Amino acid sequence: MADVVLQPNRAATAKTARKRSSLHNALRRKSTVAFLMTLPLILLIALLVIYPAFYAIHLATLNKSMQRFIGLSNFEFLFKRETFWLVVKQSCIFAITAVIFKAVLGFIIAHFVHNIPARGQRKWRGMLLVPWVIPPAMSTLAWLWLFDPSYSAFNYTLGLFGAGPIPWTGDALWARFSVILVNIWVGAPFFMIMYLAALKSVPEQLYEAAAIDGANWWQRIWYVTLPMMRNIIAITTLFSLIVTFANFDIVRILTAGGPLDHTHIFATWAFRVGIEGSDIPLGASVSLFMVPILAIAAIFILRDVNKRGNEA
């Protein structure tokens, strides 16, 4: 352990024996101190993240009463259930649609905020980030009330224009739309803030050069802004993909998976099956299906973040 630390200092330490031993002791102490400082972190990650993750795999191979090993039967059972495939489909639709809209909306809003004079930007930025600050469980309640079947404020407003009442959370398609809409509402400000920070870091000279070359606004975005922001766009999108795919609060409060399981995603269905239905092994199996897509996204994020670290 100490050897590795010593490597770069070997030349310096070789000078005198006395110096070497004292330095050696100091460095040895340093690595011990460092280890002690990170010990709580290591314990936390090992006991409360890594261990439960593997425990989930173990749980997924047990029967409902958790007394018998049944191998992959839980997965076989899931594959045969129509609801499971519905959940897979809905999770993908939910995550992909929401992330695309969040990314596009965030990009557009960031541009508008970036366009206006600098002294007004703070105020607008502050206002537009509010959805991200409110706890999602609380703001989803407000949406639930806006979507209320009999007192919906949206339907009231639509009624003024003669449009019919919309079954926001009652009809399968509209319920999916509502869930995605709320997710976009919560997540778009995050994209806006990230893109705004990235936009500010694009050197003004590049735009001037592009303007001199006669580039129109579209070409400026396509050839200057997007390439400069590529990394932050990738990180933000992948990060949001993970969070959205694993979302729980919004769907749980807004529709609780209904109508007829048509808005369930992995997290809410795992909760329904595992906690409410007290079939913990089956619930664990359901939540394990999130792992592959999360792992892929995580690998790409890690690559991009490291790249970003090297750039800076």
Subset of residues 113 to 132 that bind another protein, contact rule: CB under 8 A: 113, 115-117, 122, 124-132
- Render the burial of 281-309: b for 16+ CB within 10 Å, e for the rest: bbbbbbbbbbeebeeebeeebeebeeeee
Helices 82-115 and 226-245 pack at an angle, to 10 degrees, of: 140
What is the smallest separation between the CB atom of 246 and another protein, expressed in angstroms? 3
What is the smallest separation between the CB atom of 17 and another protein, expressed in angstroms? 22
Binding mask 137-156 for another protein (x = CB under 8 A): xxx-xxx-xx-x-xx-x--x
Tokens 């970003």 sit on residue: 308
* Binding residues for another protein restricted to 156-185, rule: CB under 8 A: 156-157, 185
CB nearer to another protein: give 133 or 173.
133
- Quick check: 10 binds another protein (CB under 8 A)? no
Rounded Cα gap, residues 222 and 120, in angstroms:
26
Tell me the residue type at 131. P
> CA 102: distance to chain centroid?
12
Find the length of the chain: 312
Q: Of these, 95, 98, 180, 232, which contacts another protein (CB under 8 A)?
A: 232
* Binding residues for another protein restricted to 208-227, rule: CB under 8 A: none
- Quick check: 309 binds another protein (CB under 8 A)? yes
> CA 96: distance to chain centroid?
12
Q: Are 266 and 257 contacting, i.e. CB atoms less than 8 angstroms apart?
A: no
- Quick check: 260 binds another protein (CB under 8 A)? no
Size of the site for another protein (CB under 8 A): 103
What is the smallest separation between the CB atom of 24 and another protein, expressed in angstroms? 14
Q: How far is CA 85 from CA 20, 27, 33, 79, 261, in A?
A: 65, 56, 51, 7, 11
Three-state DSSP at 62 gives: strand
Tell me the residue type at 95. A
| Piece of 12-20, 67-75, 82-90, 101-109 that binds another protein (CB under 8 A) | 101-109
Q: Are 250 and 178 contacting, i.e. CB atoms less than 8 angstroms apart?
A: no
- Quick check: 191 binds another protein (CB under 8 A)? no
CB atoms near residue 280 (< 10 Å): 19
CB nearer to another protein: give 257 or 274.
274
What is the smallest separation between the CB atom of 311 and another protein, expressed in angstroms? 10
* Binding residues for another protein restricted to 263-292, rule: CB under 8 A: 266-267, 270-271, 274-275, 280, 283-284, 287-288, 290-291
CB nearer to another protein: give 11 or 310.
310
